Amino acid sequence: MDIAINTSHSKYQVDKNGYYGRFGGAYIPEMLYPNVEELQQQYLSILSDPAFQQEFEALLHDYVGRPSPLYFAKRLSEKYNAQIYLKREDLNHTGAHKVNNTIGQILLAKRLGKKRIIAETGAGQHGVATATVCALMGLECVVYMGSIDIERQAPNVARMKMLGATVIPATSGSKTLKDATNEAIRDWINNPTDTHYILGTAAGPHPYPDMVARLQSVISEEIKKQLFAKTGDAHPDYVVACIGGGSNAAGAFFHYLDAEDVKLVAVEAGGKGVHSGFSAATTQLGKIGIIHASKTLLMQTEDGQIVEPHSISAGLDYPGIGPMHAHLYESGRAMFLDATDDEALAAAYELSKLEGIIPAMESAHALAKLKDLPLNAADVVVVCLSGRGDKDLDTYIRHMNK
Amino acid sequence: MQNRIDQLFAKKQHGILNIYCTAGFPQLNDTLPVMTALQQHGADIIELGMPFSDPLADGPVIQNSGTIALQNGMSLRVLFEQLQHFRERIHIPVILMGYLNPVLLYGVEAFVKKCAETGIDGIILPDLPMAEYEEVYKPIFEKYNVHLIFLVTPETSDARLRKLDSLSKGFLYAVSSSSTTGKDKDINMQQSYFERLQQMKLSNPVLIGFNIRDKASFDAAAQYANGAIIGTAFIRAIENSKNIDETVRTFIATIK
Ligand SMILES: Cc1ncc(COP(=O)(O)O)c(C=O)c1O
């Protein structure tokens, strides 16, 4: 497997200073410098080491169950008058794309000699994926999760605990993903030598956005092969993915970034409507600034205070996007849309009834925009079905009875 | 005019007491009364925190003071209004401490200029990268004679320490241990790090901060440096104060 090491020629990839255009960098306090510097120095050589790649590939194959299927969704295709394929990240072990990244980072953490793992989580998928790989490797695991998310994603909290992780509620600010990430960063400051922070999305200080994108790039690597096998053309007309911090989108877009014939569509969480005051549509509402040590687009007040976002989906309830995506937005390479809570719920019900697949609330945002794309019958569309909906059953049941 | 921080270190090299307080805390209009009391009762430097929604380097006490200050209506604009005439009353060095995002949005040059106009002597922005300061912002700070003060930690290598020392102006902020603010790690455990700092014969004066909370920890730190910085313990002291002046007097009396 090739985790996309030789990509520095692309104008959409990170440059040698850790920037995508004017976005990126590492705006860290000095206390984090040694850890982040170590990662910056080492991640590329570790990721490109054949022994690492072999181990990574074997675990993705035997443990995660990759390659994940690329499924032609016949009834969905009929409904939207296009050729729609679902990249089934929901069928991965632990139920989402998040595990691709955690497998990679736990192998990296071992090579760095770290004994203790920390993570943030929103929907709990990244927390579960981290707890899982920590169990697999016998490492201590601490997961920070916003106290609101602990309530709305209860099954995942139980799973993390069963896997042996300690789940610590983040009770500051909006009590969601942003605050869980703050707490994880503070933990890392307080544990400067033995701890690796497995950040779960393509955000945070360099090298995380690039490292996570590379580890997730297996998604588009497989799509290319699978689509070629099915249609004779590795390039679809559209790749559609939801975007919280941007890791599943980064993985699904990765090998298509320079293929300008492939339209990239990123779907943000519109919440109750972009201008309702309850939204997480960062590109619509955000300005350039610094969030979680990255210079990127984020939702902020006139005074530069970070705004508390809203989304029905815990995994998209984040007031920023990763710097790669900020650059894809600003350069016009990707199209950014947003789906409201209600549109996402409707899309989740629709996929369940048409295809027998209950998607994660996050992934449902991507599906919700099929209706807004200018599709022709011959258009090939790949939707990244980033996760399964088990964790969201409470939310789904509540809205079913409405 | 020579920067007030430099003036201070020119005449006093030992036992310098720098106290951190959050602007607009505990009440919005307490900023100046707290600063006035700090000067009155013997602080040598005031470090004024600009509250931020997501203060990554801070523990719960300072985080909470910032949240309250923001709820009180504090912002950079309000702060600069409050500070408009403060130099009529306060003569000791004053440093603003905060995070980069609000400053970027305000505009770095506009911010530094405003600091110079109101009489702010130095700025601490822990998440401003050294390289970006050197390449982009240094001329601005120099133009307005406002000092940017860098942090170092026990994990900072000698080479990087030298580099930070060469860029820092006014003093170097030595974080006593790698931690967020408000922990109570034992200062005496850091002896070898403090001795390393001493032996390096740095070009800046050094103040030690983080984990300084009482007379014992202040004295322990001050013997290795030009002085020390107290934050969380002071915020705790004034959090529920009924009489700011009296609280500040009592607090400083326990340290000095
Ligand atoms: C299933 C699923 N999809 C998407 C996301 C959003 O994250 P990202 O934007 O990093 O893919 C999450 C995050 O928790 C998730 O659980």
**CA–CA distance, A255 with A221 (Å, rounded to integer):** 6
Residue A1 has pLDDT above 80, yes or no: no
Put simply, the answer to whether A28 touches B179 (Cβ < 8 Å) is: no
CB of A248 shorter than 6 A to ligand 1: yes
pLDDT at A3: 60
pLDDT at A7: 54
Amino acid at B213: R
Q: Which two tokens stand for residue A396?
A: 């789904």
Tell me if A249 sits within 8 A of A236, measured CB to CB. no
| Cβ–Cβ pairs < 8 A, chains A and B | 105
CB of A315 shorter than 6 A to ligand 1: yes
Per-residue pLDDT tens over the stretch A144-170: 999 999 998 899 999 999 999 999 999
Distance in Å, alpha carbon of A192 to nearest chain B alpha carbon: 7
The number of residues in chain A equals 402
Q: Is the dihedral of CA A352, A357, A360, A364 positive or negative?
A: negative
Ligand 1 centroid–CA A241 distance in Å is 10
- Provide the pLDDT confidence category of residue A6 given band limits of 50, 70 and 90: low
Nearest to A316 by CA among A207, A239, A201, A209: A201
Per-residue pLDDT tens over the stretch A369-379: 999 999 999 99
pLDDT at A8: 56
- Provide, as residue numbers in chain B, all residues whose Cβ is less than 8 Å from the Cβ of A175: none
DSSP conformation class of A254: G
Residue B224 lies in a domain: yes
Put simply, the answer to whether A31 touches B54 (Cβ < 8 Å) is: no
CB of A205 shorter than 6 A to ligand 1: no
Per-residue pLDDT tens over the stretch A209-222: 999 999 999 999 99
Q: For residue B202, give every residue at least 6 positions away whose Cβ sits within 8 Å of its Cβ, in sequence order, or none.
A: B161, B162, B165, B172
pLDDT at B189: 85
- Provide the pLDDT confidence category of residue A173 given band limits of 50, 70 and 90: confident
Q: Phi and psi at residue B210, in whole multiples of 5°?
A: 80, 130
Tell me if A366 sits within 8 A of A340, measured CB to CB. no
Per-residue pLDDT tens over the stretch B89-117: 999 999 999 999 999 999 999 999 999 99
Residue B101 lies in a domain: yes
Q: Does B175 contact A at CB distance below 8 Å? A: yes
Per-residue pLDDT tens over the stretch A179-213: 999 999 999 999 989 999 999 999 999 999 999 99
pLDDT at A142: 98
Residue B173 has pLDDT above 80, yes or no: yes
Per-residue pLDDT tens over the stretch A46-56: 999 999 999 99
Distance in Å, alpha carbon of A318 to nearest chain B alpha carbon: 13
Q: Which residues of B23-53 are buried (b: 16+ CB within 10 A; e: fewer)?
A: bbbbebebbeebbbbbbebebbbbbbbbbbb
- Provide, as residue numbers in chain B, all residues whose Cβ is less than 8 Å from the Cβ of A40: none
- Provide the pLDDT confidence category of residue B185 given band limits of 50, 70 and 90: confident
Put simply, the answer to whether B57 touches A29 (Cβ < 8 Å) is: yes
Residue B163 lies in a domain: yes
Nearest to B194 by CA among B150, B225, B157, B149: B225
Domain that holds residue B105: 16-255
Residue A113 has pLDDT above 80, yes or no: yes
Range of weakest confidence among A8-12, A100-104, A220-224, B112-116: A8-12
- HSE-CB of B48 using CA atoms within 13 angstroms: 31
CB of A246 shorter than 6 A to ligand 1: yes
**CA–CA distance, A47 with B136 (Å, rounded to integer):** 33
Mean pLDDT of B159-175: 98
Q: Which two tokens stand for residue B32?
A: 């100046």
Question: Residue B208, exposed/middle/buried by CB under 10 A (0-12, 13-18, 19+)?
Answer: buried
- Provide, as residue numbers in chain A, all residues whose Cβ is less than 8 Å from the Cβ of B67: 172-173
Determine the angle formed by the axes of helices A341-355 and A393-400, rounding to 10 degrees. Answer: 100
Residue B237 has pLDDT above 80, yes or no: yes
ipTM of model over 0.85: yes
Q: Is the dihedral of CA B125, B127, B129, B130 positive or negative?
A: positive
Tell me if A235 sits within 8 A of A71, measured CB to CB. no
Residue B10 lies in a domain: no
Cα A3 to chain centroid, rounded? 17
Residue B245 lies in a domain: yes
Average pLDDT, chain A: 96
Residue B9 lies in a domain: no
Q: Phi and psi at residue A110, in whole multiples of 5°?
A: -65, -40
| Count of structural domains within chain B | 1
Residue A380 has pLDDT above 80, yes or no: yes
Q: Which two tokens stand for residue B221?
A: 């730190």
Nearest to A255 by CA among A217, A226, A292, A229: A217
Nearest to A398 by CA among A341, A325, A357, A353: A341
- Provide the pLDDT confidence category of residue B187 given band limits of 50, 70 and 90: confident
| Chain A residues with a Cβ under 8 Å from any Cβ in chain B | 25-31, 33-34, 172-173, 178, 182, 185-186, 189-190, 192-193, 287-293, 300, 302-306
- Provide, as residue numbers in chain A, all residues whose Cβ is less than 8 Å from the Cβ of B126: 29-30
Q: Which two tokens stand for residue B220?
A: 């322990």
- Provide, as residue numbers in chain A, all residues whose Cβ is less than 8 Å from the Cβ of B99: 290
CB of A242 shorter than 6 A to ligand 1: yes
Active site residue B81: no
In chain B, residues 182-211 whose CB comes closer than 8 Å to chain A = 183
**CA–CA distance, A201 with A123 (Å, rounded to integer):** 12
**CA–CA distance, A119 with A105 (Å, rounded to integer):** 11
* Gyration radius of chain A's alpha carbons: 19
Put simply, the answer to whether B106 touches A304 (Cβ < 8 Å) is: yes
Per-residue pLDDT tens over the stretch A57-89: 999 999 999 999 999 999 999 999 999 999 999
CB of A363 shorter than 6 A to ligand 1: yes
Per-residue pLDDT tens over the stretch B192-206: 999 999 999 999 999
Q: What is the CATH number of the domain that holds B134?
A: 3.20.20.70
Ligand 1 centroid–CA A247 distance in Å is 7
Q: E strands of chain B, at which residues?
A: 16-22, 45-49, 94-97, 122-124, 147-148, 151-152, 172-175, 206-209, 227-230
Q: Looking at the partner chain, which of A28, A182, A287 has a beta carbon nearest the beta carbon of B127?
A: A28
pLDDT at A402: 65
Residue B218 lies in a domain: yes
Residue B48 lies in a domain: yes
Q: Looking at the partner chain, which of B53, B132, B156 has a beta carbon nearest the beta carbon of A305?
A: B53
Q: Which two tokens stand for residue A73?
A: 């969704």
pLDDT at B186: 85
Mean pLDDT of B204-230: 96
Average pLDDT, chain B: 97
Residue A2 has pLDDT above 60, yes or no: no
CB of A243 shorter than 6 A to ligand 1: yes
Mean pLDDT of A352-368: 98
Nearest to A274 by CA among A306, A298, A310, A301: A310
- HSE-CB of A148 using CA atoms within 13 angstroms: 19
